[in-house]
């Protein structure tokens, strides 16, 4: 694509690839851990989302930005962001439909117990998806440089 004509094509490093391969699953687990613990301890969707997005950046550093861009379709990133917004909005507005305030999780007690806990976790997951995908999208846009023609990247 656009970076291919630049001098000094990216050569993979065994050290970085091995480390990333070992560390990436742990980082993704840690991101989910942070997201789920946002309700009762430091952390939350924003921090966890950034960590989840950094997994993709790590992969890009190890395997080359262009190959990561081809591996991770832009539509996936955009869908993740849109899905996060939809999750947040539907949970928030659902309580209004049930007759409460915006994000008044206790309205869901009719369907399941510990409703506010699950509500908060779902909203954190949604925020995490938004933050992760926006971070990934911004990273790809920045990595593309100034000479890049913005074609279908309407994300971020």
Partner 1 sequence: MTPVEWGIVALALLGAFFGGVAAMGIFRLPDVYTRAHAASKSDTLGAVLTVGAAALALQSGISTAKAVFLLVFMFLTNPTAAHAIARAAQDQGIEPWTLDDEEGET
The nearest distance, CB 16 to partner 1, in angstroms, is: 5
The correct pick among 4, 5, 22, 42 for binding partner 1 (CB under 8 A) is 22
| 64-93 binders of partner 1 (CB under 8 A) | none
Q: Please say which residue, 15 or 149, places its beta carbon nearer to partner 1.
A: 15
Taking CB under 8 A as the rule, does residue 149 contact partner 1?
A: no
CB-count exposure of residue 146 (10 Å: 0-12, 13-18, 19+) = exposed
Out of 46, 50, 57, 61, the only residue in the binding site for partner 1 (CB under 8 A) is: 61
- For residue 28, give the 3-state DSSP assignment: helix
Burial of 149 (0-12, 13-18, 19+ CB in 10 A): exposed
Q: Which is nearer to partner 1, 54 or 133 (CB)?
A: 54
Question: Does residue 21 belong to the site contacting partner 1 (CB under 8 A)?
Answer: no
Q: Kindly state the number of chain residues that form the binding site for partner 1, as judged by CB under 8 A.
A: 10
Give the separation between CA 122 and CA 90, rounded to whole angstroms: 11
Please choose, from the candidates 29, 53, 52, 48, the residue with its C-alpha nearest in 3D space to the C-alpha of residue 38. 48
- Which one, 13 or 106, has the nearer CB to partner 1? 13
Q: Report angle CA 29, 79, 153 to the nearest 5 degrees.
A: 110
* Residue 63 sits in the site that holds partner 1 (CB under 8 A): no
Assess 23 for contact with partner 1 (CB under 8 A). yes
Q: Please give the Cα distance from 156 to 149 (Å, whole number).
A: 16
**Contacts with partner 1, residue ranges (CB under 8 A):** 8, 10, 13, 15-16, 19, 22-23, 26, 61
């Amino acid at each position: 694509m656009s970076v291919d004509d630049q001098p000094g094509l990216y050569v993979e490093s065994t050290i970085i690839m091995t480390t990333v391969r070992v560390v990436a699953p742990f980082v993704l687990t840690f991101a989910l851990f942070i997201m789920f613990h946002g309700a009762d301890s430091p952390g939350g969707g924003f921090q966890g989302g950034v960590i989840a997005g950094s997994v993709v950046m790590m992969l890009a550093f190890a395997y080359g930005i262009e190959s990561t861009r081809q591996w991770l379709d832009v539509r996936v990133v955009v869908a993740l962001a849109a899905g996060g917004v939809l999750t947040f909005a539907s949970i928030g507005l659902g309580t209004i439909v049930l007759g409460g305030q915006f994000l008044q999780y206790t309205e869901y007690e009719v369907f399941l117990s510990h409703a506010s806990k699950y509500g908060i976790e779902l909203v954190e997951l949604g925020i995490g998806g938004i933050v992760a995908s926006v971070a990934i999208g911004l990273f790809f846009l920045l990595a593309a440089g100034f000479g890049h023609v913005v074609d279908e990247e309407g994300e971020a």
